Structure 1
Amino acid sequence: MDVNEMISGLESDLKEIAGLLERSERTRVRDALTQEQKKIEKDLALAQKRLQKQQQDKTQSQEKTETSIKGYTVKIHNYGWDQSDKFVKIYITLNGVHTIPAENVETSFTERGFNVLVKDLNGKNHQMTVNNLLFPIITAESSKKIKTDMVLVMCKKKTTKKWDCLTEVEKQAKDKDKPSMDEKADPSDGLMSMLKKIYTDGDDEMKRTINKAWVESQEKKAKPDDFDF
């Protein structure tokens, strides 16, 4: 029974006993009613204390939640990852994370991402959000584990395919830096493109070095071969 309902019922009982006492004339009946009245008053006092404690606990819980929410949130950058045939594992280093309540570490998964929120750790919230995993994952079989100073996020692969990178963005950046491997292209074109990029991105010393090498190369091409008859 709900505490409020219990208190309401006991108060009604007391009111009815008070009415019976007013109409009662026999001493034995009055004594019995008085005894029952004291018992109900005792039960009512206990119920009221119980209700008061529940309200206090609720207030404390709300205050704790509000404190966690009010704490500013920082992005998680310190992590590493590896993989097995079945899982991609993300290791998030957070000193002391094993000392806070487990419910303060929240994780959620989508087919191509995950979110980790660690609340009220050293007065701050810590969050990592990834929305562009390289390949899809199985959300229902993905999970987290809390270890000493670390949160381990385990993303279940949909296939056993090996991941070259954790995210699509990393993959695109990696592919962009690779030299072109077009079989039909002239190898010298690729070399020239690479030299142009190095020249454009390089400092003055690098540019002088490339210019010198180019001049020497051209001079060598123009010089007659000593063994040519």
Structure 2
Amino acid sequence: MADEVALDLEELRQLQSIAKRPRILSLLSSEIGNLEKSSKDASSGTTSKSSTPIPVPAKVPATPAINYVTLGSFSWDQDGDKVKIYVSLEGVDEEKVESSFKPTSFDIKFHDVQGKNYRYAVPKLNKEIVPEKSKMVVKPNRVIITLIKASKGNWLDLHHKEDKLKPNMEKDRDPMAGIMDLMKNMYEEGDEDMKRTIAKAWTDARSGKTADPMKGFR
């Protein structure tokens, strides 16, 4: 191998001595330099097999936990088979929203809203919904969440509260519990007008318009 390199060098030097064009001279000089380097490496034994680098597993950076600001300010109403929730939030990018609807809950995450991440979720709804038909619409200054009821009837509240209308037989029973039970029975057994009246009375009582939930239909 060394002899071949030496012969190549000799011939290239001869060509260099008779070449006149600058480009040819440059190419010859470059090739001569490469061969001279190869010759030196061969003589010193450094041109043997190149060592194969051992792959080092790349460190995968840990994904930082996302901090969310819980949205607590909202309003809602219902119309037939729909429950609509209105959340005031500006600067929402619909492509950066992650929503999940389930039969008795929903969870919506708003990412990168003016530098913050927000979350609005109801872990247990008043009644069941149809997840595949429920949706969320982003407006310039608010978000509208539409829940499709799985069954007919008005919701007295957005959240499910197991003991809200549950009878209590204890002696120290809250006086309001009897009124709640009465309203529940009247609602379940009444006609549509009665149901609307009870729903309105309860909504007014919950919002603070009246302290007595029975006042709305006396």
| TM-score scaled by length of structure 1 | 0.44
Of the two structures, which has the highest relative contact order with CA contacts closer than 8 Å and spacing of 6 or more?
1
Structure ranking higher in helix proportion: 1
